[in-house]
Structure 1
Amino acid sequence: MTGPQALLSQEDVTRVVLGLLLAIFLAAIDQTIVAVALVSIADELGGLDLLPWIVSGYLVSSAIATPVYGKLSDLYGRRRLLSVAIAVYLCGSILCAFAQSMPQLVAFRVLQGLGGGGLLALSQATIADIAPGPERGRYQGYLAGMFAIAAVAGPVLGGYLSWYISWRAIFWFTVPIAVSAFLISRRALALLPVPGQRRPIDYAGALLLGIGLAAILIALTRIGQGHGWTASSTLMLVGTGALALFGCALRERVAPEPMLPPELFVNRRVLLCCVLYVLVFFLLVGHSVLLPIWMQALGGAGANDVALRMLPLTLGVPAGAYSSGRLVLRLERCRPIIVAGALLAIAGSILLALVAIDSLFATAFVMLVLGFGMGLTMPASIVELQAAVAPRQVGIATAVGALFRTLGGAIGIAILTSMLFARVRSTMGIVPGEPIGPLHEVAAETLSSGFELAFV
């Protein structure tokens, strides 16, 4: 598209950004909002073995969908694909609220994730369509701040909704927001031109990528459910995933319009940003899910108490993101900010394994450090990623970054919860399907060692 910014007034841009902020809010909050309600869900629906997939299922399907939405939006326009993504997400949310069994809930969360994967990638790509280069950093900062607030506020909102109403209210909460995002974005993006050029879709690359990601992440989750690293089923999944990803890499080298352009992954700055995204969102999403369980199982906190005790993390991430944007403008350099944020996040994660659960001040301080460090890396890394590629590749590079952020969150959930539940089962002999509720009463020492292992 050529110069779409000229078609939009400042009022139009404001409406577009408002719609994108709502979409980003939905994409981020649904990765963590169910964390506090996992205990209640397991007690009502059973199916402890499937419990990690309430979160991981959303993240896996979201990771698979991200590059597909990015590519299709280049072919058919952001407005059409964003509308599809929101509609799929909305259907998934309503079905989750009506789920009557754990398999149903997991399946509906997967559907929800297929919509959620488009919300993040398309929102960030749309910024490049509506704003000239100098202004993109400012708007990307708004999106990063909203993502950070929503991701860490998820457990807080989830705690209040599940405590005072029901865990089903968590899914109903997102419905009016999704409807508003759909209506606002449909109207605001109507002025953007639709690409006239039609290019082939890399179906084979998308299929191989999806199979590879799904197989690897299913293997990680199954390990936490008691299947050993060397079990035949684990090795089969890992082998299938590795072959599919290798096949995807070969396919992308010869595809006329590759889903993931190979040249991006030989760009050192892009590669470092992608690695950073995986590590930071591994910590952000993983800790947003584990911390509420830690507080409930070992600290005896109720869902409403957990919501309050999560506030330092909730406030730390957007504070770090805001500071990052200011520092980028002042220093005109991204790497020192990214390094400082990563070091703070790593230090906070290690300290969580050392502080006592009943030390509220120490826990709050460490969570603040952890959140501030993760927030510090976000806008700076987006600016660094987009500056590393040619203008014609900014949209593709942004979609790749969104994929690795989602992938990092999915891996974090899979590995950290797998480590926790594997330690519990190996010590307590938990029977598949047994409710998770009584664990804090009968296995406190076991849970403590499991959380220490996961946090470190």
Structure 2
Amino acid sequence: MNHRQVLQSLSGLLLGMFVSILASTVVSSSLPLIISDLKGDQSAFTWVVTATLLATTVSTPIWGKLADLFSRKLLIQIALVIFVLGSALAGFSQDTGTLIIFRVLQGLGAGGLGALSQIIMADIISPRERGKYSGLFGGIMAIGMVGGPLLGGVVTDAFGWRWNFYLALPIAIAAIILLQVTLHLPKIVKRAVKIDYLGAILLAGGISMLLIWVSLAGSQFEWASWESFWMVGGAAALLIAMIITEFKVAEPIIPLKMFKNRTFTLATVASIAVGVAMFGTSVFLSQYMQLSRGATPTQSGLLTIPMMGGLLLASAFFGQVVSRTGKWKAIMVSGASLTVVGLLLLSTLHYDTNLTYVGVSMFVLGAGVGMIMQNLTLVVQNTTEAKNMGVATSAVTFFRSLGGTIGVSVLGSALGTLVANHIKDGIVKLPPADQLVAAKALGGGTIPHVNQLPDAIRVLVESAYGSAVGSIFLYAVPLALITLIAIAFLPNNKLGTVTAIELAKRGGGTAADIVEREVEDTEDVLIEVAAATAALPAVGEAHPIDDESRRREPVAATGSITRQ
């Protein structure tokens, strides 16, 4: 495909990704208000987020398997329908329980959109060219993540938070039609695929039990208690059973043999930490802006623009650089370093931190994530055979979602504990009359409407959330350091110039292998040419003139010259 044909094929895909991101982020700025209206606590807030991420995590590998069996174009349209249907139903939620259920449906569709978009890109674009088009996806993601909270805040302030869940419906319909008209994929040979449903169930059960334990421990029961023992033990048993199953089934949901590939293993480790940085920061920054800085949902959306702006600029610019130069290692190492710096800067947050400082810190973090997020998928696809492209791509997305799921849950639980401790210590210092008011307003554990609290208690809550959110970012720094180390040790393979479709037609190998063979063949030809050139006589010795030649009489030339 030429550039125009690629853009035409990607137009529906980009719009589908945009609507999924918009539907996810449009509620982020109003989520504290939603949880307050539905009488939810910090645990419910965390689960509203992690329910979507958990469903995305578990369903992603299954979508990858289905992509090897059915039409990828049809599958991504189905995923889009499921996602938007879950979003629309969430608008009718009457409590946090029903909201969590509908968010699970959203996550099932999101798993398909995330995996299939990357698989389809690998089908029609070579790794070398994929950088600049990945920049388009990064740009769409950034626009959705910037515009979503801002639009959600405006809609919430004007019409109420329920309308946020309906905004994506008309755009989704347009995306489905555009996908049907513009996306034309070559027919590829389908192979028989067996989906590992047992592995998916065991994985979902094990991860869910761990997340439930993290959400409840410290509030409903002690961390060191028999409840913790059986929940952690049960989760470990399920996950061990899942690993055993993966060794025995014909086509596991997570092919453990792929961990023999050094690039895949290190990219997986890096993806887990990126998931925490990408999902965790957006969740907790919205809480910081509204609960610690007293911002409205609209203001919260505006205040988070620097982070998404950094992600947009870095993703688009460095995607072009990767495509033009073929160099990716230095860019990714630099991005991982910026991620560490950004988290360190945000770890100093308090309720009265200068907003310019907050904005610069968010921009640095966003730029770091933008430089590594899409490129992690790129380097894995570059060293994967065509027959495993779907499962390898979905596996990277799976571990990124897994990192986000566990990270948001663990950090959310830690946030709840820190906030509760800060408030408890602060209430003791209040006058007796204010202590009674604070106990009545905050005793239930639900997230309060900060702007409706008396001044003394409002400052207490803002201070508690400000300090706690800063601590959360500090807890994420070790994961960012792991990402930096993993990326530093990634093999610096050259980016291939063939698509996954072309790889399949060649009958095997990876894009990186092919480009290496081409380099070796070129070197062999150059060596042969050099050897042949060395065997030729020197220029001055090509036609030696002996004394006999010099003594010969010159030969006279005869003929006539005519004017043309």
TM-score > 0.5 by shorter chain: yes
Deviation at 1:230, TM superposition (A): 2.7
- 1:40 is aligned with what amino acid? L
Partner in structure 2 of residue 454 of structure 1: 472
Once the two structures are superposed, what CA deviation does each residue of 1:149-181 show, in whole Å capped at 9, x if it has no partner? 323543333222222222112211121222222
Deviation at 1:125, TM superposition (A): 0.7
Once the two structures are superposed, what CA deviation does each residue of 1:281-322 show, in whole Å capped at 9, x if it has no partner? 211211111112112222222222222211111210111112
2: distance between equivalents of 1:346 and 1:215?
A: 30
For this pair of structures, how many residues does the alignment match? 449
Larger displacement relative to structure 2 (415-424 or 439-448): 439-448
Partner in structure 2 of residue 384 of structure 1: 379
2: distance between equivalents of 1:149 and 1:345?
A: 20
2: distance between equivalents of 1:384 and 1:132?
A: 12
2: distance between equivalents of 1:410 and 1:158?
A: 23
- 2:57 is aligned with what amino acid? A
Q: Is 1:156 matched up with 2:174? A: no
- 2:105 is aligned with what amino acid? L
Deviation at 1:195, TM superposition (A): 4.9
Partner in structure 2 of residue 437 of structure 1: 449
Structure 1 residues 226 and 36, CA gap change in structure 2 (3 angstroms): farther
Deviation at 1:26, TM superposition (A): 3.5
Q: Is 1:36 matched up with 2:29? A: yes
Deviation at 1:138, TM superposition (A): 3.2
- 1:424 is aligned with what amino acid? V
Residue 318 of structure 1 is aligned with which of 312, 320, 323? 312
Partner in structure 2 of residue 19 of structure 1: 12
- 2:323 is aligned with what amino acid? L
Structure 1 residues 331 and 246, CA gap change in structure 2 (3 angstroms): farther
TM-score using structure 2 length: 0.74
- 1:455 is aligned with what amino acid? F
Deviation at 1:79, TM superposition (A): 2.1
Structure 1 residues 60 and 224, CA gap change in structure 2 (3 angstroms): farther
**Residue pair 1:59, 1:410 contacting (<8 A) in 2 also:** yes
Partner in structure 2 of residue 114 of structure 1: 108
Structure 1 residues 440 and 249, CA gap change in structure 2 (3 angstroms): farther
Structure 1 residues 388 and 311, CA gap change in structure 2 (3 angstroms): same
Partner in structure 1 of residue 257 of structure 2: 263
Residue 191 of structure 2 is aligned with which of 172, 189, 197? 197
**Residue pair 2:32, 2:290 contacting (<8 A) in 1 also:** no
2: distance between equivalents of 1:359 and 1:127?
A: 42
**Residue pair 1:62, 1:113 contacting (<8 A) in 2 also:** yes
Give me the identity figure in percent.
33
**Residue pair 1:70, 1:121 contacting (<8 A) in 2 also:** yes
**Residue pair 2:134, 2:319 contacting (<8 A) in 1 also:** no
**Residue pair 1:317, 1:372 contacting (<8 A) in 2 also:** yes
Instruction: Please give the residue correspondences for 1:349-428 in structure 2 after superposition, counting only pairs within 5 Å.
Output: 349-355=343-349, 357-428=352-423
- 1:28 is aligned with what amino acid? I
Q: Secondary structure at the match of 2:231?
A: helix
Deviation at 1:324, TM superposition (A): 2.3
Partner in structure 1 of residue 273 of structure 2: 279
Once the two structures are superposed, what CA deviation does each residue of 1:84-116 show, in whole Å capped at 9, x if it has no partner? 211211221111111122211111111111111
- 1:33 is aligned with what amino acid? V
Larger displacement relative to structure 2 (175-184 or 95-104): 175-184
Structure 1 residues 154 and 241, CA gap change in structure 2 (3 angstroms): farther
Deviation at 1:424, TM superposition (A): 2.1
- 1:114 is aligned with what amino acid? L
TM-score using structure 1 length: 0.90
Structure 1 residues 249 and 151, CA gap change in structure 2 (3 angstroms): farther
**Residue pair 1:337, 1:376 contacting (<8 A) in 2 also:** yes
Instruction: Please give the residue correspondences for 1:103-252 in structure 2 after superposition, counting only pairs within 5 Å.
Output: 103-189=97-183, 192-193=186-187, 195-223=189-217, 227-252=221-246
Larger displacement relative to structure 2 (31-40 or 255-264): 31-40
**Residue pair 2:349, 2:470 contacting (<8 A) in 1 also:** no
Q: Secondary structure at the match of 1:333?
A: coil
> Structure 1: 5+ residue runs without aligned partners?
none
Partner in structure 2 of residue 51 of structure 1: 45
Once the two structures are superposed, what CA deviation does each residue of 1:316-362 show, in whole Å capped at 9, x if it has no partner? 01111123213323553322221211111111111112255441221
Once the two structures are superposed, what CA deviation does each residue of 1:253-278 show, in whole Å capped at 9, x if it has no partner? 22212222112222221111112112
**Residue pair 1:25, 1:146 contacting (<8 A) in 2 also:** yes
Q: Secondary structure at the match of 1:63?
A: helix
Aligned-residue RMSD, C-alpha: 2.5
**Residue pair 1:348, 1:369 contacting (<8 A) in 2 also:** yes
**Residue pair 1:224, 1:420 contacting (<8 A) in 2 also:** no
**Residue pair 1:35, 1:290 contacting (<8 A) in 2 also:** no
2: distance between equivalents of 1:24 and 1:452?
A: 31
Larger displacement relative to structure 2 (420-429 or 199-208): 420-429
